[in-house]
Structure 1
Amino acid sequence: MAKTQSSFFTSISRLYPHVRPIMPQLLMGLICALLASLVALTIPQVLRVLINETLHAGGATTAVWISAGVVLVLGVAEAGLVSLRRYFVIKPATTVETRMRVSLYDHLQDLTVSFHDRWGSGQLLSRAMSDLNFLRRWMAFGAIMLVVTSLTVIIGIAVMFAMSWQLALIFLAAAIPIMINAFRFRTRFSKVARLSQDQAGDLATTVEESVHGIRVLKAFGRGREALENFNEQAEELRQTEILKAKHLATFTMVVTLLPELALGTGLVTGVLLVADGSLSIGALVAFFATAAVIATPVEFCGMLLAMALTAKTAVDRHFEVMDSVNTITSPENPVRPAELRGALSFNNATFAYEDAPDKPILKDINLEVKPGETMALVGITGSGKSALLQLVPRLYEVTEGSVTIDGVDLREYDVGHLRKVVAVAFEDTTLFSSSVRDNVLLGAPEPTDEALDEALDVAQAQFAYALPDGVETLIGEEGLSLSGGQRQRIALARAIAAKPRVLVLDDPLSALDVNTEELVEARLREVLADTTTLIVAHRPSTVALADRVALLEDGRITAVGTHSELLAGNPHYRYVIASLETEPRDLDSELSDLDDEAEDAIR
C-alpha cells in the first residue's frame, strides 16, 4: 500500500469534484459564519462609543439603554448566524459523505481479486467509515471555521491597528513565533496523524479476523494469545494518539501563552498611552475587547490546523483506493454470441501473481474441455488447481497465453456477461448475512421459487425447508450458523441456480459423505447435462464420476484421460490418487440417517 505524499492543497483539491454540487450551500455557511464573526467584532466598537460619548458626568442614561439594546441585538444576530451556518452545511456535507462512501464501495466491487489479496479488510473498512466520517465533519465545520478564523484574525488586527498601531504591533510581534511553530507542527502532526489512521485500520483488521475466527480461537484455546496480540496493537495506537496529543498540546500552549503575554504587555503600554493623552479610555477598552474576540480564534487554530492535517491524510487514504486501477475490464466492443456451447480451452496459459511475476504458478497450460463434459482436475497440494479455476471467470488474468470459451478469448467478452455464463462454487464457502433464498438466488437469471426449489434439490440441500423460517431463515454472518456440509450445499445450489454454461467447482463437496455426494453428482448430470464442468477433486469418488481427468503437476498439465487410462499408465497419477484424502464423515448426514432409522423402528 503506497502512501501518497503530496501538499495539503494538492490533496484537498481532489475533493472539489465531490464538493462542487454543494458549493453554494457551503458558501452560504461560510458567509453566515463570517458575518457572525464580524458581528462579534462590532460589539467592542459599540462599547468604545458608549464609553467615550456617554459614560461621563451629565451623560444621558438613555444612551446606555440604547447601547445595551444594540449589544443584545448583535448577540442575538450572532447566535442566529451560527445556527444558519449549521443549517446550510450539515445536510449537504452528509450527502457528499454518502456519495463518496457509495462510490468507494462500488470501486471496491470493481477492483480485482489481487487487489483484495493485498489489502486488509480493516484498512478498507476504516477508509469507508472513519475517514469519510471525519471528512464530512471537516467539510461542515473544520474547513469553514479555518477560513473564518483566519479572516477574523486578519480583520481584527486591522481594526486594532486603526485604534492603536503601538498596541497592535505588540500583538503582531506575538504572531511571528506562532507562525514558526505552526510550520513545525504541521510537519510533525501530519506524519503522526497518518500513522494513527493506518494503525487504526490494522486494529480493525485484527478485530474482524478475531470475530470471524472465534470458533478456531476457542477450539484451540488461543484466546489469551489473541488478546495479547490485540493489546500490543492497541497499545501502539494509544502511544501514537498520545504523541498526537502532545504535539497538539505544545502548539496550543504556544498559541495561548503568547497572546496572553502580549495582552499583559499591551495593557501596561495602553495605560501609559491613556495617561499621556495618546489614547482614549474608550479606545483602550475597545482594543482589549477586540483582542478578546480574536483570542478565541487564535487559540482555536491549533485544533483547526490539526483537523485540516487529519483531513488531508483521510483524503490521501481515500484516493489510495480510488486510484487503484481495475486491470480486468471489458473491451470497448465485447463479443456477445447469440448462443454458447460452453467449449472451454486453455491455450499456453501462464499465470503468476502480481507480487511475484517471475514465479509463475501455472506454466503453458493446454487443456480442452468439451461442451457438456465434466473434467476433473487433480494434483498434489500446491500444484495450482485453484489458481487454474479462477482464470475461467477472470477473477485473475492470464499472464501469457489465453483462455477461451467457444474459441473466443475471455478478454473479448464483457466481464459481467462472462460471469453470468460461468458459475463458481469454492471449497471455502462464502455466504452472506441474509436468507437462504437470497443466498441461493444471488446470481439466478430468474429468481423464482421454481429455480430455488430445483437448485436446493440438486444440491441435496432440502434441509433448508426444515430451518426455523424455512428458506427465509437468516443464516447469520458468513453462514456460520450452518454446518460445513450445509454451507457447501447452499453454495453449490447458488452456482446451480445461476444456470451457467460453464460450471467451475473447487472441490465443493469435500464436507459431504459419499452417499450425498453421489446423489448430488447424479442430479448434476441430469439437470446440467449440457453444462461444461471443471471440478477440482480431492476425493477418489469425485474423480471416478468425471468424464475425463486432467493431471496438474508443478503448474503444468502432464496428462489427460479417463480415470482408468491414467490409473493404468501414469505413475504420478497413481501416486496422487493414493494420496487423496479418505472419505470424510459428514456428521450432519449421519445424524439424519440415525433419526430416520429411529423413526422407522418406532413405526
Structure 2
Amino acid sequence: MPTTRATTEERSAARTLLRLWPYVRPVRVRLFTAAVVAVVASCTGLVIPLVLKWMVDGPVADRDPAGVWRGALYLLLLGVAEAVLFGIRRWLVARPLSGVEAEMRADLYRHLQRLPVAFHDRWASGQLLSRGTTDLMLLRMFLAFPLTFLLVNSVTILVGMVIMLLQDWALGLVVLGPALPVMWTCVLFERRYAQAARRAQDQVGDLATVVEESVLGIRIIKGFGRHRSQARAFRELSDALRGTELRKARLLATIWGVIVTLPEAAIGTALVLGVVRVADGDLSAGTLVAFLSTALALRWPVDSIGFLLAMSQEAATATERYFEVMDETPETSTAPGVRGTRPTFPEHGQTLLSSVGTGTSAGLRFENVRFRYPDAPPGSPPLLHHIDLHIRPGESMALVGATGSGKTTLTALVPRLHEVTSGRITLNGVDITAIPREELRARVAVAFEEPTLFSTSVGENVLMGAADGAERAALDHALAVAQAEFAHALPQGAETRVGEQGLSLSGGQRQRLALARAVVGRPEFLVLDDPLSALDVHTEAAVEAALRQVLADTTALIVAHRPSTVLLADRVALLSDGRITAVGTHQELLHTNTEYAQLMSGEQEGSR
C-alpha cells in the first residue's frame, strides 16, 4: 500500500465525479431520460396540493359530494402516475448501471495486469480488492440514486417554493427562512464527511488485507499458535473502522438534525400564522391546505439532502481511490523512445546457435547494467552495478552469490519484471526494451523459487507457460521433465484443481509444477531462480537428469545454491556486492576463488 494517501480537503467532489463520464457516456441517454421521468414524477406529486385546494375551496365548501369523489379520483390518478413514473425510472437505470460497474471492474482488472511489479510491491492486495468491490458498488449506488435525486430534489424544492410563494408570499418567506443556515451546515458537513469517508474506505482495504493474509497464512498462524495475536490485530483494525463509521454517523445525525428541525420549525410557524389569517378572513382554507401540503411534500426532498450528500462524498472518495490505481503508468510494450524495425527470432524448435551463428552479440548479454529500486532512499547505492555478463547461445550459466547479493533481482530484469536503471540487456543482439513485452515473455520462460499456483487444474497451471492451444503431449512432456508425474495419480489426474495457492500440494510438488510450467513451451531462454530448493535428494537427481535435456536446447540463467544445481550449468558467475566478480567453470572457481569455495562448501549455508 502506498505510504501516502490522497487528501480530501482540497479536492472537489464534483470535479472528481466528472471522471466517471467516459463510463457513463454510453448510457447517458437512458440516465438523462430516467432523470427527466423522475423530475416529472416528483412534480406530479406537487400537483396534489393544488387539487386539495380546489376540493376544499370548491366541492367541500359547496357541500358537493360528486365534486369530492371527482377530486378523490384525480388524487388517485396522480398517485398512480407518480408511482408508475418512478418505476419506469428504476427500470431505465438498473441494466445500464450494472453494465457500467462491470466495465469499470473489468478495466481495473486489465489495468492491474499491465502494471509493473514495482507497483504490486508497494500496494497491499486488500486495498486493490476493496477498490474492485466495495468502491465500485458505492459508485453504482451513486449513479443509480443520489446522482439522479440530487437533481430531482433540487428541481422539486425549487418548483415547490415557487408554488408556495404564489399561494402566499408571506408564508413562503417564513418557510424559506432556514435556507441559509441549512446551506452553511451542508458546506461544513461535506468537507468533514469527505475526510471520514476516505478514512473509512482506506480502513476497509486494510481490514481486507489482514483477512486475506490470515487465510493464506493459516498454516503459519496455527503452527506458531498466533491466532490470538492475529485476532487482536484484526480487532484493533475493526475497532478503528467502527470508530470512523461512528464519526460518520455523528456527522450525518448532526446535519439531519439541522435539516429536519429548522424546516419543521418554519412549517410550524407558517401553520400558526396561516390559521390566524384564515380565522381573520385574510386567507382561504383551501390556500392554507395547499400551502401546507406543498410544504409537507417538500419534507422528503429536504430531509434527503443529508444522506444524498453523504453518498455523494463516499462516491467521490470511491472514484478518487479507483483512479489512484487507474492513473498509475502501465508497462509499455517497448521502452519510450525505442524505434526501429521489429526484431526477429528463430522459430520454436530451431536452436539459437544454428539461427544466429557464433557472433559475440548472440545469446543473452548484460552490458554495464545498473539497477536500483525506484522507491529506494535518495542517494542510496544501486543494488546492482556494472553487470557485464555474456551467456552464449545454448549455454547454461549458474548464478551464485550470498543472500542479498541481488541474484533474484538480476533474473527479474531479463523478462522486464523490473527495468534496468542504466545499461542494457540484449537477446541475440537486440535490446530487450525494443522487443514487445508479450513477445519477450513468450521467448523467456521463468520459474521462481517461491512457486505460485492458481485455483485451477494442474494442467491449466502448467499450460500457462505454453502458447494457446498447446497439445496434451506438451503437458505430459513438461510433467515428465519436472518429475511431476504425481499429477496423473491425483483424483482427476491433470484436471484436478489444486486449490488456492496450490496449498493442497507439498512444497516440492508445487515447485515441480512451476518448473513444468517454465519448460512446457520449449522456451529459447530459460531463467530459473533456484528451482530445485524444495526437492529431496532423489527427486532432485531425477529432475536434474531430465532438465539436462531441456538445457541442451536453450540458453539458460540459473540461480543456484547447491553444488548439484551448479553442475547443471556449463559455466558459473559469482555475484558479490552487486557485481559479477568471477566467471568460470565450477572447478575453476573452486580452485581460484575463495568466496565461491566457501559458498559451495556450506560455510555460508546459514545465509542462504
Q: TM-score, normalised by structure 1?
A: 0.95
- CA deviations 1:486-520 (Å, max 9, x no partner) are 00000000011122111100111101122222222
CA shift in 2, pair 1:279/1:490, >3 Å? same
Gap runs ≥5 in structure 2: 353-361
- CA deviations 1:147-168 (Å, max 9, x no partner) are 1111111111111100011111
CA contact (8 A) 1:328 1:394 kept: no
CA contact (8 A) 1:93 1:140 kept: yes
Match of 1:547?
Answer: 570
CA shift in 2, pair 1:456/1:247, >3 Å? same
After superposition, residues 111-260 of structure 1 pair within 5 angstroms as 111-260=115-264
Match of 2:317?
Answer: 313
CA contact (8 A) 2:175 2:266 kept: yes
CA shift in 2, pair 1:77/1:304, >3 Å? same
CA contact (8 A) 1:122 1:205 kept: yes
1 CA distance for matches of 2:561 and 2:216?
Answer: 26
What is the letter of the counterpart of residue 444 of structure 2? V
CA contact (8 A) 1:112 1:328 kept: no
- CA deviations 1:252-304 (Å, max 9, x no partner) are 11101111111111111111222333221101001110011101111111010
- 331-340 vs 420-429, which deviates more? 331-340
What is the letter of the counterpart of residue 342 of structure 2? V
1 CA distance for matches of 2:298 and 2:339?
Answer: 59
Q: Establish whether residue 339 from structure 1 lines up as the match of residue 359 from structure 2.
A: no
Helix, strand or coil: the match of 1:451?
helix
Q: Establish whether residue 91 from structure 1 lines up as the match of residue 113 from structure 2.
A: no
CA contact (8 A) 2:396 2:551 kept: no
2 CA distance for matches of 1:129 and 1:392?
Answer: 34
How far off its partner does 1:81 sit?
A: 0.7
2 CA distance for matches of 1:334 and 1:142?
Answer: 53
Match of 2:86?
Answer: 82
2 CA distance for matches of 1:117 and 1:354?
Answer: 11
Helix, strand or coil: the match of 1:429?
coil
Helix, strand or coil: the match of 1:350?
strand
Helix, strand or coil: the match of 1:523?
helix
CA contact (8 A) 1:455 1:493 kept: yes
Helix, strand or coil: the match of 1:201?
helix
Match of 2:357?
Answer: none
What is the letter of the counterpart of residue 60 of structure 2? L
Helix, strand or coil: the match of 1:376?
strand
How far off its partner does 1:332 sit?
A: 6.2
2 CA distance for matches of 1:9 and 1:237?
Answer: 26
Among 365, 387, 393, the alignment partner of 2:409 is 387
How far off its partner does 1:472 sit?
A: 0.4
Among 521, 525, 546, the alignment partner of 2:544 is 521
Q: Establish whether residue 355 from structure 1 lines up as the match of residue 359 from structure 2.
A: no
How far off its partner does 1:529 sit?
A: 1.7
Match of 1:404?
Answer: 426
2 CA distance for matches of 1:27 and 1:167?
Answer: 35
2 CA distance for matches of 1:238 and 1:579?
Answer: 53
Identity of aligned residues (%): 52
Match of 1:56?
Answer: 61
- CA deviations 1:310-359 (Å, max 9, x no partner) are 10001100000000012553256563314272700001101111111633
- CA deviations 1:460-482 (Å, max 9, x no partner) are 00000000110000000010000
Helix, strand or coil: the match of 1:15?
helix
Helix, strand or coil: the match of 1:14?
helix
Match of 1:597?
Answer: none
- CA deviations 1:7-26 (Å, max 9, x no partner) are 11210111111100000010
CA contact (8 A) 2:42 2:156 kept: yes
What is the letter of the counterpart of residue 72 of structure 1? L
CA shift in 2, pair 1:333/1:323, >3 Å? farther
2 CA distance for matches of 1:418 and 1:97?
Answer: 34
CA shift in 2, pair 1:334/1:270, >3 Å? farther
CA contact (8 A) 1:427 1:506 kept: yes
Q: Establish whether residue 444 from structure 1 lines up as the match of residue 466 from structure 2.
A: yes
How far off its partner does 1:4 sit?
A: 5.7
Q: Establish whether residue 506 from structure 1 lines up as the match of residue 513 from structure 2.
A: no
Among 5, 8, 14, the alignment partner of 2:13 is 8
Match of 1:563?
Answer: 586
CA contact (8 A) 2:598 2:604 kept: no
- CA deviations 1:515-546 (Å, max 9, x no partner) are 22222222122134221111111212111221
CA contact (8 A) 2:443 2:523 kept: yes
- CA deviations 1:220-265 (Å, max 9, x no partner) are 1111111101110110000000000000011011101111111111
Among 499, 508, 512, the alignment partner of 1:485 is 508
How far off its partner does 1:371 sit?
A: 1.1
2 CA distance for matches of 1:311 and 1:334?
Answer: 46
CA shift in 2, pair 1:131/1:160, >3 Å? same
2 CA distance for matches of 1:317 and 1:455?
Answer: 42
Number of equivalent positions: 582
CA shift in 2, pair 1:332/1:472, >3 Å? farther
- CA deviations 1:545-567 (Å, max 9, x no partner) are 21111000011000000000000
Helix, strand or coil: the match of 2:386?
strand
Among 19, 23, 47, the alignment partner of 1:42 is 47
Q: Establish whether residue 101 from structure 1 lines up as the match of residue 108 from structure 2.
A: no
2 CA distance for matches of 1:479 and 1:36?
Answer: 56
- CA deviations 1:427-465 (Å, max 9, x no partner) are 111000000010010121242100000000000000000
How far off its partner does 1:28 sit?
A: 1.3
Gap runs ≥5 in structure 1: 584-603
After superposition, residues 568-579 of structure 1 pair within 5 angstroms as 568-579=591-602
2 CA distance for matches of 1:223 and 1:111?
Answer: 34
- 420-429 vs 358-367, which deviates more? 358-367
Among 287, 293, 296, the alignment partner of 2:291 is 287
- CA deviations 1:542-595 (Å, max 9, x no partner) are 112211110000110000000000000001111221237879xxxxxxxxxxxx
Misfit runs of 4+, over 4 Å = 331-334, 580-583
- CA deviations 1:163-195 (Å, max 9, x no partner) are 011111111111111101000000100000000
Q: TM-score, normalised by structure 2?
A: 0.94
Match of 1:463?
Answer: 486
